[in-house]
Structure 1
Amino acid sequence: MYTIKRAAEQLGISESTLRAWERRYGVGATQRTESGYRLYDGRDLQALGLMRALIDEGWPAQAAAEEMRRRMSSDDRRPAPVHTGATDGDDTAALIRIAAALDAPALGTLLDQQFSAASFEAVADRWLLPALHALGVAWKDQQITVAGEHMVAHAITRRLSAAYDAAGDNLMAPRLLIGLPPGARHELGLLAFATAARRAGLSTIYLGADVPTSEWITAATTGAVGDVACAVLAAPTEADSSAVRETADALRAARPDLLVAVGGSAQEFAPPWCVKLGHHVGPGAALLAERLAVRPA
């Protein structure tokens, strides 16, 4: 739980703005102490972060509050995305056509449609990650150029980064280090997982791509982050598997108590003692939250 001061720090919003939003739009803390002080949980921060993101995009505050409520109320409730006559396969094909044409406005429209249709986890697992795989195949087959692939990747990175920030960081929860081993650079799936982990109530430190093994050890053992409970690596390709094994073994040697989890397409090549997260970010984040909830302090 967060006080208003901590919530404001996490969100980058002043305390007076938080009070004003609660007074004017009914958006804010859902709990109070016996003395009447506001307490914010992870979902409160997620809602407020989403409202701030909408305002930053140019939405009027009242409209942003209403849109935030619409998205939060539908989150995790709809079993499938609502499309206007299109299937996920159609939208994947559309993504490849958009990349080939370097059509940035159409890309924005497609991403808006997808990310507003269902929960973040459902969109990531059912459409986004399979679509990115298809995009990679299209690039290898020379259906799209490097420029087209980069245009899509950067647009999706921005969307995922915004969702990651909007999810908020529950500093009272078990903390994760999340990153790629040295030499690995395909981080969109990992960033999607990091977002799902925050939405599952975990605290995260996102290290990003191509992190040297020595830096993993420093991050896991430095006093400032000594409460790290788990390191999450990804093996996006089989070529990354040796770096994953090296980094996982080094982490185990430096911090025998540290839980090490691995995701990605080549996760089966990770050491057998690592937790395998599977190939879907939603269930993987939920699995890790369950494991850490019962892990001895």
Structure 2
Amino acid sequence: MYSVKHAAAMTGIPPDTLRMWERRYGVVAPVRTEGGYRLYDDAAISRLSAMRALVEAGWPPRLAAEQVRSGTTAGPLASPPTGDEVPVAVDDPAGDVAVLVAMATDFDAHALETVLAEMFERDDFEHVVDTWLMPALISLGSAWHRGKVTVAGEHFVSAAVQRRLAAAYDAAPTNPDGPRVVVGLARGSRHELGVLAFAVALRRAGLAVLYVGSDLPAETWVVTATDQRPAAVVVGVPSSDDVPAVRDTVAALIAARPDLKVFVGGGHQSRVGGAALPLGHRLGEAAEEVARVLGVVGQAATA
């Protein structure tokens, strides 16, 4: 039996990551001493090593844990599964996608703000988000899952990105006479960078956007849709854990307002089903589609 410190040394997995994989994914179930300390046996060490190998091979941690728990990781590693959870490979010869990971370890606020300013000056907002920001955030999240970045480092970078997106939202041209769209996240969902970026794109596409942020219960969505009478709502589905709450929200909205168009976006949008209208995974194209469906033609911003 091995302590957390010993297991970390044997597997190359930081102790905090060991505990997180246990709590979040149930990949191991260490026994406890009378004092409450974790002890890992040889089987647990093997499962942790297999989990690490899969994650380093490009598997999302949740799917890697499912593979390990199924006992099918013996032999050569299979290729990562395809689907919504797997990041698209990015041609990144300049290392731009990895830059946020470096920022999360340096904690240099000035350097981080400079990088964000330079990247967003390279091209249109939508193109930068699609080709750089989202892949870079995926890289940052992967580094955190592997224990290469601390929680504080990930939060440090995410907070700076959120400030940048909020500034872009405030700076985007407004069209108060355009169709109103309410944008936000369902109950329990707090990963709002993607949905905030989409709110910016919708504003730039000529829509009157009401951004309501994260963690809204279904009943709050219904009240907002009833009182504000939007032409559409957009609910983000950034993680698999968000799917049940989004399904409840969509069902409640359609029951209250059958005429309402309910769009869903994010990595797990295809799993919502029902009356939800998936937006796809390209920010600019999705914003243009919402504008087209709501009758806004030729009003996209160029600023």
Bin the TM-score by the shorter chain.
Answer: 0.5 to 0.7
Aligned with 1:209: secondary structure? strand
Q: Normalising by structure 2, what TM-score?
A: 0.66
- Partner residue, 1:135: 140
Aligned pairs for 1:1-297 within 5 A: 87=92, 90-222=95-227, 225-226=228-229, 228-293=230-295
Aligned with 1:183: secondary structure? coil
Task: Give distance in 2, aligned partners of 1:88 and 1:272.
Answer: 41
Amino acid at match of 2:139: A
Q: Which runs of 5+ in 2 are unaligned?
A: 1-90, 297-303
Task: Give distance in 1, aligned partners of 2:93 and 2:279.
Answer: 24
Aligned with 1:262: secondary structure? strand
Q: Normalising by structure 1, what TM-score?
A: 0.67
Amino acid at match of 1:253: A
The Cα offsets for residues 117-144 of structure 1, whole Å up to 9 and x where unpaired, read as: 1000010000001111110110111111
The number of equivalent residue pairs is 207
Amino acid at match of 2:270: E
Residue 248 of structure 1 contacts residue 271 of structure 1 at CA under 8 Å; is this kept in 2?
A: no
Amino acid at match of 1:241: V
Q: Which runs of 5+ in 1 are unaligned?
A: 1-85
Amino acid at match of 1:94: V
Larger radius of gyration: 2
Q: Between the two proteins, what is the percent identity of the paired residues?
A: 48
Task: Give distance in 1, aligned partners of 2:193 and 2:94.
Answer: 20
Deviation at 1:229, TM superposition (A): 0.3
Residue 184 of structure 2 contacts residue 234 of structure 2 at CA under 8 Å; is this kept in 1?
A: yes
Residue 88 of structure 1 contacts residue 127 of structure 1 at CA under 8 Å; is this kept in 2?
A: no
Residue 202 of structure 2 contacts residue 209 of structure 2 at CA under 8 Å; is this kept in 1?
A: yes
Residue 182 of structure 2 contacts residue 211 of structure 2 at CA under 8 Å; is this kept in 1?
A: yes
Deviation at 1:87, TM superposition (A): 4.6
Cα 1:147/1:88, change in 2 over 3 Å: farther
Aligned with 2:232: secondary structure? strand
The Cα offsets for residues 148-204 of structure 1, whole Å up to 9 and x where unpaired, read as: 111111111111001001113211111001010101110000000000000000111
- When the two chains are superposed, the root-mean-square deviation of aligned CA atoms in Å is 1.7
Residue 164 of structure 1 contacts residue 198 of structure 1 at CA under 8 Å; is this kept in 2?
A: yes
Deviation at 1:271, TM superposition (A): 2.1
Deviation at 1:89, TM superposition (A): 5.6
